[in-house]
Amino acid sequence: MTNDTQVKLVSGTAGYVLEDIPHLTDYLPDLPSYPNPLQDNPAYSVVKQYFVNVDDTVTQKIVVHKDSPRGVHFRRAGPRQKVYFESDEVHACIVTCGGLCPGLNTVIREIVCGLYHMYGVRKILGINGGYRGFYAKNTVTLTPKVVNDIHKRGGTILGTSRGGHDTSKIVDSIQDRGINQVYIIGGDGTQRGAAVIFEEIRRRRLKVAVAGIPKTIDNDIPVIDKSFGFDTAVEEAQRAINAAHVEAESIDNGIGLVKLMGRNSGFIALYATLASRDVDCCLIPESPFYLEGSGGLYEFIEKRLKENGHMVIVIAEGAGQDLLSESLQSMDQQDASGNKLLQDVGLWISHRIKGHFAKKKMPVNLKYIG
């Protein structure tokens, strides 16, 4: 699967650059627009400046210097005064792809309830089983009544899968069913697939909007405040850190080593460390580290054990990948969604720590939780 989507760049004065997103009017320039139904909704019409101005953008970098260029900006999200679908013509669908994430059912519920109550949309389908569900699975009709209590359950009521992306079959199904709004909830591999789907829709000149909703507990999306599922991930990480701390402080030279998720970002590891206050060392991909010599990890561990008798180390799964030279030959493997598979840095570094202190004849008791 390739992604040929071209980024829309708009230049302005003083070094202003807008990385814009594709829009229906890019290939359907004569598309009529309609007043947003929210203008007639008493819950929203009374709020001043509720609608987002079409020229509103969000800057990529918050901190700038007085002589620096204005830099890269992104289109601000939010309701517009004009929309390109009438409520009674909308036939929406929702699909969840990739791995599970806390909050998936909540997102499904909010899309359904928002479309139904705020925009008057009555035709909403759920696609079962990820991308392949477009052409290989049954669909389920979604209404506020159907999704009323799903936020109390884990997982996704629609089911999910990795891979199964056949662009032509998916767009054929969208076209055959008369769907004109597609909401795709998934990670980076899923969103690459969403971009390819949109390109095929554009090639066929269909009036179909594709909205990608990023799913990541890793919080690795620039500009936004927080991705859904991140808080739960940090909260659950506390259990592992607490267990490691209990193990470590209960024995001489005890080391609790906890590997946390995060792929190539260290937000979960860092926020869990800050919340715990029991962690002595946090290793994240954004801050390279080394093992040997002055200022290395071994030196810090030895110093901390002599001072305190025990310690807790938290390592993000993407940290130290460059140090795993023994496993470099397998580092190009990918999962079904096209994401690079990471090596188990926690298991690797636990063996290295044990080996180092065995050579120094300084026994350590290491408990690895990964």
* Residues labelled as active-site residues: 218
169 sits in which H/E element: helix 167-177
Residue matched to tokens 């389920």? 140
Relative to beta strand 254-260, strand 139-141 is unpaired
* Helices and strands (H, E) in the chain, number of each type: 10, 15
Task: Report residue 93 as tokens.
Answer: 């669908």
Task: Report residue 1 as tokens.
Answer: 């699967």
Task: Report residue 223 as tokens.
Answer: 């500009």
Note the Cα 315 to chain centre separation in Å.
19
Closest C-alpha among 28, 336, 8 to residue 193: 336
Residue 191 main-chain phi, psi, to 5 deg: -70, -30
Cα separation, 230 vs 256, in Å, equals 23
Q: Which long-range contacts (CB under 8 A, 24 or more apart) does 336-344 make?
A: 336/162, 336/163, 337/97, 337/98, 337/162, 337/163, 337/186, 337/187, 337/188, 337/189, 337/190, 338/1, 338/189, 338/192, 339/187, 339/188, 339/189, 339/263, 342/263, 342/317, 342/318, 344/259, 344/370
Cα separation, 179 vs 175, in Å, equals 6
Q: How many residues does the chain have?
A: 370
Residue matched to tokens 């204005």? 70
